[in-house]
Amino acid sequence: MTLLSKLPDVGTTIFSVMSKMASDFSAINLSQGYPDYDPPEELKERLTWYINNGFNQYAPMAGVYALREQCANKVKTFYDCCVNPDSEVTITPGATEAIFCAINAVVHTGDEVLIFDPAYDCYDPAVKLAGGIPVHIDLTPIDYSIDWSEVSLKISKRTRMIIINSPHNPSGSVLGENDIAELKKLALKHDLYVLSDEVYEHFVFDGAQHFSVLRDPELAKRSFAVFSFGKTYHATGWKMGYVVAPEALSKQLRAVHQFVTFVAFTPAQHALADFMQSSPEHLTQLPTFYERKRDLLCTSMSASRFSFKPSAGSFFQVMDYSAISHKDDMEFSEWLTTSIGVAAIPMSVFYKNKNRSKRHQVRFCFCKEDKTILEAAKKLIDI
Ligand X SMILES: Cc1ncc(COP(=O)(O)O)c(C=O)c1O
Nearer to ligand X, 130 or 199 (CB): 199
C-alpha 124/C-alpha 133 separation (Å) is 9
Q: Which of 47, 199, 249, 336 binds ligand X (CB under 6 A)?
A: 199
**230-to-35, 189, 280, 338, 340 alpha-carbon distances in Å:** 10, 35, 16, 29, 30
- The interface with ligand X within residues 136-165 (CB under 6 A) comprises 165
What residue number has its CB nearest to ligand X?
94
Nearer to ligand X, 92 or 300 (CB): 92
> Contact region for ligand X (CB under 6 A) — 90-98, 136-144, 171-179, 326-334?
90-98
Nearer to ligand X, 239 or 359 (CB): 239
269 lines the binding site for ligand X (CB under 6 A): no
For residue 46, the minimal CB distance to ligand X (Å) is 19
Q: Which of 29, 70, 145, 169 binds ligand X (CB under 6 A)?
A: 169
228 lines the binding site for ligand X (CB under 6 A): yes
Q: Which of 39, 94, 172, 267 binds ligand X (CB under 6 A)?
A: 94
**257-to-197, 249, 300, 343 alpha-carbon distances in Å:** 17, 12, 44, 35
CA atoms within 13 A on the CB side of 227: 23
Q: Which of 50, 79, 116, 120 binds ligand X (CB under 6 A)?
A: 120
Q: Which of 230, 267, 287, 346 binds ligand X (CB under 6 A)?
A: 230
User: Which positions from 22 to 41 touch ligand X by CB under 6 A, shown as an x/- string?
Assistant: -----------x--------
Pairing verdict, β 223-228 and 193-197:
parallel
CB 134 within 8 A of CB 115: yes
Cis ω on the peptide bond leading into residue 118 (within 30° of 0)? Answer: yes
Q: Which of 197, 201, 216, 291 binds ligand X (CB under 6 A)?
A: 197
Using CB under 6 A as the criterion, which residues of the chain lie in contact with ligand X when the complex forms?
A: 33, 94-96, 120, 165, 169, 197, 199, 228, 230, 236, 239, 241
